[in-house]
Structure 1
């Protein structure tokens, strides 16, 4: 496999007068040596990049420098006035890095153990009660035009010997011409960071993004690398790795002492770390510089290599009064790694092109292979005792005027060289964005992801256009909500639908007004005449992900009609929560043979007046406060949903008195190898006079047919695939689901199934089953169990699942306990 490298350099001084550059290679193989140490006579320490190249700028003369590398002989190089580029080769010693095995105590391991033991004392977030600082960040996507072949410097080149001209691929020529003038993408950000009470908050004072008048919140919030090198789980490009100085790090990493160097005039050990297991060869590796006196991290280089080569560098400033090293400068870079496939990140903002050739080594390098992403952060104005944090529940807050800063603001804060190429990036991309209406395309794309198609001032709800179930048949409709073009503080929403089988029209109409922009609080009222599945459990606060289709309702035939007036208040006022508070008056009519027997009176239709609060709490997630509301920028688990419904006595001719408590919690764990474990627990408890329409059915998804083949339908996400519709009802229940998804396995070029193991179990009971007349059912007081295997995305999104029912509610005929279902995953490419 061929390594794809990109030249990059570290600028140590913008006012540099002396400069040395070069490349370091292995003498025997002539391969580049990344992470070789360069130490100059005037105290500058640097390392070679992934291409083996180095670039050192200094305000003081450089008369000589040393070059050292793991497992190679150290060399000294004298610098002559007329020589600024050095082509250096190191000779390998008998000590090979690949053979490093730490079986007993050695120098590196001893140093690491002391570093781990003293990390709380050296961590600024542990040592300092509070601090604040400003941060300038610049992120670019670009390519170095000098790295691209000179053969494409013009549209025509001279063919060898014949002297004729022929036209080359103009795409390559245009690409080099473009990156010679400007970057492909660029964004800047000025932030104020505050730390207090173990919380770190970022307030964005100013931000700008080339080509977009209003920057994308998703990119602003994207976490490229951990702020603190002392985090037990170090994060690099939204993937968390066990830190090389975590409490249990010595079980996972090998360490080797490379050298001792001076950082800011203080001697530091230079220690290389890498995963012990070969299976983790693409995991975290890098170099830690550890202060010899206090065993604090004085510099760190973290990297992973794979489809993408990703590196993050942390540099620090020493505070002698506190005897700690404080973050001062961070860099983050992505280049293409050992990969021949397209890789899209930031939702398509950056794309690393690949091809489909079988022999990657024979693939001709394309100019776009040189594309890199680089983010650089400069920390300044550090205050060690700062004021308390306002709104500490938000990890990030954007000031209202952050998008409208003038050039004088940016000139006062920029800590990086802002050259002509950077200036042209803004002017040209802004011009392209206006000409191609990029902002409008982004707006439309984001709405479509959420299931809406904007048409002028109206967002059409794509979920309402078409669906199917056994009661309504084909349900055809139209619905949506007004958008910000009409008003940012007022909306009208609704839908109208027709069922081809029941021949009935249904619909809803409502309006709401925003009463708080900061908490995204709305007060609204609506009227609805529609049908709903009996005994179904839904949390009003939960936002259902957009699906082109929802397969489970296809086989449902028992519905009830509800005509409802509702007033509601939705808000994010409580930190890390979303909530809906609602009062509703509904007329209920079951659309199947059923009557509720209360005090010897049969109710075939009834009136309900209820108050409800539905709340979702995400205590471990990070949230961003934007000028238009709150968004969840980092989803963490577990998450909790609560819902309480209470009938309101005799208000509005209410027929029944009851209470309902519903609870759900979700947990997900993603592994570095791409696998994922998901857990779901859900429970409900209804007490009082509750008709069957409003009880619990545990989400069945199996139809009553004679053979397995006749029962093949589409599977659901969290439903019991072997449980028949209307088989069980409960007034109290508990449901647990376990899923573990493995990596997709390539069987053939277009057949890459994803294996998922699933187990579900439920328990339930029903108070006063004799009150429910006209339908036969059982209770879940003995429990219900099923397990199965999902083979998803076998071909073009289609998959196959198989589940087996066992335990106390297992059926007498073996084949009746088996359910085979189809699955379908639609990949929209987002």
Structure 2
């Protein structure tokens, strides 16, 4: 979802209208004072870094600022016109010092330990049985016009003997005129939050997005910052970091007591925290204001500085009756960071100024350098420990049906400040621009392209169908897709046709479906298919294949079966946190290789199968949003579980065999703060009864039978066994396990940045009555299969190299036959 968010706003940066910089030193020794507190007259906070330097930016004028440091006399500095840098000297004093601040590091640790020990008593989601409140949120993307030079620049194009030719650049001039009148984007939202039974739900009562009649639901669900600083994993811009008051936070953060301040008339410790890692953007830093009496968080400032500078504030109000600080306000801001590395987002390059400590020539400021994003939320109508009944608690977010059509009087009721001319102009201008430039259509077009569809009028072409290759069909050229909402939101027609240049045969599919439940996105459909499929391959009906420009594994597959099938199906999301497909199918199957199935003394070279299938995916830990148009998974969490049951239907519709199949898969993924990732996959299947080889299990092999390692070099798959030969093993019951761990990309040279992944795979299985399968030689997996390898992905322009080694009971006699070297390719869209 972060990718969609970045696609929408492209680049977020800020050059504030008012900025002051300076350094704080000891008057007597001239030593710098790190972590001194800077407070402006308008309430901005900052602290000096390890070199005693500070910088404060503001969208409104600053008249003065106060510098304080424990053990030193506070100093007030008045802002002087045209003076951007201030040398501040503080005088040390021994008067009125509290003993607790003699050793600020030890004092901070003692305070933090008490805060951690008492956090459950101070956390509203732990302490209170229930609560509810309403929130008004406003998000804007804008720029401060006074920061932008409005002059029209002349740029030298070239010099000749006849003179100098100029090109007029009015980019900044036009941009300044635009942001003088309106913001670049804005959205408002009013929500009701309800907490009970350890669940927090947001119901969106009203929402409006400038330029869009129907908002982007993914933007509404985007989590800019955590609800609470008490969460063990604090989330900032959809990235989770260890909280500074998590149980194990002392291992990860350094703390320093800066000062004591009064918040809402209660004294609070001001604790600075910073991740112990020295590299940039590896963790959080900020300030915690901790109540001296109950050690609760009274205010929190959190930030990350890197490619993007991100800051978040949390403000609390003290409720004396419950002796608890409750969140009442939070804000979030993204500005452009200082970095000499460019980053790419969907093919567009975002440039950054060089690091300040390096001697890098400054580039010319672009309009994007002045842009910032700011989100601000105000909580009101707070009620604690009331009888809260949460409707549909299995949705983390739910949008009311009439939330998109609120009158202006609704917004005037909830806005914190009265709407200004610039805000009004933003809505009117962007609405007209969106209609004129068809912004909504462009956004929809982009979303479909990412998912692999090319919309043309009322039909979405499926780009997966254009081109592929395998050893049986040769080049498979095709065309296919599905009708879209421009034709009908409640009815669809889909299909494809393809031609194999090697087998010289056409394949096709045609189907139609009707929506029977809008909220659950339930469809009832029928289809007819004449196509080929890899033998013994395991596919879960519920799983949607992600869009790939190419799929390398099928290139070397040569054993397929043809199937001509009719099917009816029902797909739904009716059951909370699940998706399911229920199917009734009739198929005529013909293996396209030398194979005969022996069953009850009868030989089958082709057969009829009538089956019923139920396929279900369950994501119990994910969060979902219910919108007026259906359900969206807004936060994917692991593990995920997929179940599938297939049952042949006796002699119905000339069915030849009686059998049952049970399939199961679970996936787990853990991302670490340092950018590494661990992935686990467990998959199993069990087939009972008379099942021909075409419908058994092959555990996804991906190695071709050639003499030398060089001859066997092909492309690696995603979850396939790279040293297992095609058609080497078949099973009617199996289990496989895969472990992957990916490390950060390592820069070897300027454009050589490989990503190291270590992989281990193992599988076990067995085949009952192998004598029934004639014509194809194979082995069984009762002794197990094991392989491990190293992937060096994205070495250069997406290309990589992988090496795997086969070991264990099924290791081959020749060492070289156990080695597989493969190419890998990762298509980088700039995500």
TM-score by length of 1: 0.89
Instruction: Quote how far apart the aligned CAs of 1:194 are.
Output: 1.0
2:88 aligns with 90
Instruction: Quote how far apart the aligned CAs of 1:24 are.
Output: 5.4
Deviates more, 1:620-629 or 1:243-252: 243-252
Instruction: Quote how far apart the aligned CAs of 1:323 are.
Output: 0.8
* Aligned mates of 1:57, 1:509 — CA distance in 2: 62
* Aligned mates of 1:702, 1:30 — CA distance in 2: 66
Instruction: Quote how far apart the aligned CAs of 1:84 are.
Output: 14
2:340 aligns with 340
1:638 aligns with 639
Deviates more, 1:502-511 or 1:717-726: 502-511
1:47 aligns with 45
2:572 aligns with 571
SS of residue matched to 2:312: strand
Instruction: Quote how far apart the aligned CAs of 1:78 are.
Output: 8.4
Distance of aligned partners of 1:253 and 1:229 in 2 relative to their CA distance in 1, 3 Å threshold: same
* Aligned mates of 1:708, 1:685 — CA distance in 2: 34
Stretches of structure 1 lacking an aligned partner (at least 5 in a row): 10-20, 96-100, 158-163
2:97 aligns with none
- The question of 1:738 aligning with 2:777 is answered no
* Aligned mates of 2:408, 2:509 — CA distance in 1: 49
Native 8 Å contact 2:122 2:324 kept in 1: yes
1:153 aligns with 151
Distance of aligned partners of 1:235 and 1:750 in 2 relative to their CA distance in 1, 3 Å threshold: same
Instruction: Quote how far apart the aligned CAs of 1:640 are.
Output: 0.8
SS of residue matched to 1:656: coil
- The question of 1:211 aligning with 2:214 is answered no
Q: How does 1:277-316 map to 2 (within 5 A)?
A: 277-279=277-279, 282-316=282-316
* Aligned mates of 2:427, 2:806 — CA distance in 1: 61
Instruction: Quote how far apart the aligned CAs of 1:106 are.
Output: 2.4
* Aligned mates of 2:65, 2:336 — CA distance in 1: 31
Native 8 Å contact 2:338 2:353 kept in 1: no
Distance of aligned partners of 1:657 and 1:675 in 2 relative to their CA distance in 1, 3 Å threshold: same
Cα deviations across residues 407-460 of structure 1 (Å, max 9, x unaligned)?
A: 222222111453222222222222332222221111111111111111111111
2:352 aligns with 354
- The question of 1:76 aligning with 2:75 is answered yes
Cα deviations across residues 148-180 of structure 1 (Å, max 9, x unaligned)?
A: 3x4x434579xxxxxx99876322332333333
* Aligned mates of 2:299, 2:584 — CA distance in 1: 58
Native 8 Å contact 1:790 1:799 kept in 2: yes
Instruction: Quote how far apart the aligned CAs of 1:53 are.
Output: 2.8
2:676 aligns with 675
* Aligned mates of 1:351, 1:381 — CA distance in 2: 45
SS of residue matched to 1:573: coil
1:623 aligns with 624
* Aligned mates of 1:47, 1:244 — CA distance in 2: 19
Q: How does 1:362-381 map to 2 (within 5 A)?
A: 362-364=361-363, 366-367=365-366, 368-381=368-381
SS of residue matched to 2:204: strand
Native 8 Å contact 2:584 2:612 kept in 1: yes
Distance of aligned partners of 1:302 and 1:594 in 2 relative to their CA distance in 1, 3 Å threshold: same
Deviates more, 1:406-415 or 1:416-425: 416-425
* Aligned mates of 1:677, 1:752 — CA distance in 2: 20
1:390 aligns with 391
SS of residue matched to 1:90: strand
Cα deviations across residues 194-247 of structure 1 (Å, max 9, x unaligned)?
A: 111111111112222222222212211111110011101111111111111111
* Aligned mates of 1:297, 1:129 — CA distance in 2: 19
* Aligned mates of 1:188, 1:627 — CA distance in 2: 18
Distance of aligned partners of 1:84 and 1:589 in 2 relative to their CA distance in 1, 3 Å threshold: same
Q: How does 1:498-537 map to 2 (within 5 A)?
A: 498-537=499-538
Q: How does 1:151-550 map to 2 (within 5 A)?
A: 152-155=150-153, 169-279=169-279, 282-343=282-343, 352-354=350-352, 361-364=360-363, 366-367=365-366, 368-384=368-384, 385-416=386-417, 418-550=419-551
Cα deviations across residues 37-59 of structure 1 (Å, max 9, x unaligned)?
A: 4287xxx964138973376999x
Native 8 Å contact 1:184 1:425 kept in 2: yes
Instruction: Quote how far apart the aligned CAs of 1:77 are.
Output: 2.7
1:107 aligns with 107
Native 8 Å contact 1:115 1:245 kept in 2: yes
* Aligned mates of 1:400, 1:197 — CA distance in 2: 25
Instruction: Quote how far apart the aligned CAs of 1:586 are.
Output: 1.2
* Aligned mates of 2:380, 2:490 — CA distance in 1: 39
Cα deviations across residues 765-822 of structure 1 (Å, max 9, x unaligned)?
A: 1111111111100011111111111122222222221111111111111111111111
* Aligned mates of 1:86, 1:748 — CA distance in 2: 40
Instruction: Quote how far apart the aligned CAs of 1:360 are.
Output: 6.2
* Aligned mates of 1:824, 1:356 — CA distance in 2: 31
Native 8 Å contact 2:280 2:305 kept in 1: no
* Aligned mates of 1:462, 1:94 — CA distance in 2: 70
* Aligned mates of 2:448, 2:509 — CA distance in 1: 21
Instruction: Quote how far apart the aligned CAs of 1:665 are.
Output: 0.8
Distance of aligned partners of 1:56 and 1:787 in 2 relative to their CA distance in 1, 3 Å threshold: closer
SS of residue matched to 1:696: coil
Distance of aligned partners of 1:815 and 1:268 in 2 relative to their CA distance in 1, 3 Å threshold: same
Native 8 Å contact 1:194 1:386 kept in 2: no
Native 8 Å contact 1:24 1:53 kept in 2: no
* Aligned mates of 1:357, 1:6 — CA distance in 2: 16
Distance of aligned partners of 1:49 and 1:180 in 2 relative to their CA distance in 1, 3 Å threshold: farther
SS of residue matched to 1:172: helix
Instruction: Quote how far apart the aligned CAs of 1:376 are.
Output: 0.8
- The question of 1:757 aligning with 2:779 is answered no
Q: How does 1:56-75 map to 2 (within 5 A)?
A: 66-69=66-69, 73-75=72-74
Q: How many residues align?
A: 794
Instruction: Quote how far apart the aligned CAs of 1:102 are.
Output: 13
Deviates more, 1:636-645 or 1:817-826: 817-826
Instruction: Quote how far apart the aligned CAs of 1:74 are.
Output: 4.0
* Aligned mates of 2:173, 2:286 — CA distance in 1: 37
- Two-structure CA RMSD over aligned residues (Å): 3.3
1:118 aligns with 118
Native 8 Å contact 1:700 1:721 kept in 2: yes
* Aligned mates of 1:172, 1:34 — CA distance in 2: 37
* Aligned mates of 1:276, 1:654 — CA distance in 2: 67
1:7 aligns with 16
Distance of aligned partners of 1:689 and 1:226 in 2 relative to their CA distance in 1, 3 Å threshold: same
Deviates more, 1:630-639 or 1:335-344: 335-344
SS of residue matched to 1:126: helix
Native 8 Å contact 1:273 1:287 kept in 2: yes
Distance of aligned partners of 1:599 and 1:478 in 2 relative to their CA distance in 1, 3 Å threshold: same
SS of residue matched to 1:91: strand
Native 8 Å contact 1:352 1:371 kept in 2: no
Instruction: Quote how far apart the aligned CAs of 1:144 are.
Output: 2.0
1:98 aligns with none
Native 8 Å contact 2:73 2:91 kept in 1: no
Instruction: Quote how far apart the aligned CAs of 1:663 are.
Output: 0.7
Native 8 Å contact 1:132 1:386 kept in 2: no
1:700 aligns with 701
Cα deviations across residues 80-124 of structure 1 (Å, max 9, x unaligned)?
A: 9x99999754337899xxxxx999982211111111111111111
Distance of aligned partners of 1:365 and 1:769 in 2 relative to their CA distance in 1, 3 Å threshold: same
Instruction: Quote how far apart the aligned CAs of 1:280 are.
Output: 7.2
Instruction: Quote how far apart the aligned CAs of 1:613 are.
Output: 0.7
1:144 aligns with 144
Stretches of structure 2 lacking an aligned partner (at least 5 in a row): 1-12, 49-53, 94-100, 156-163
* Aligned mates of 1:353, 1:419 — CA distance in 2: 33
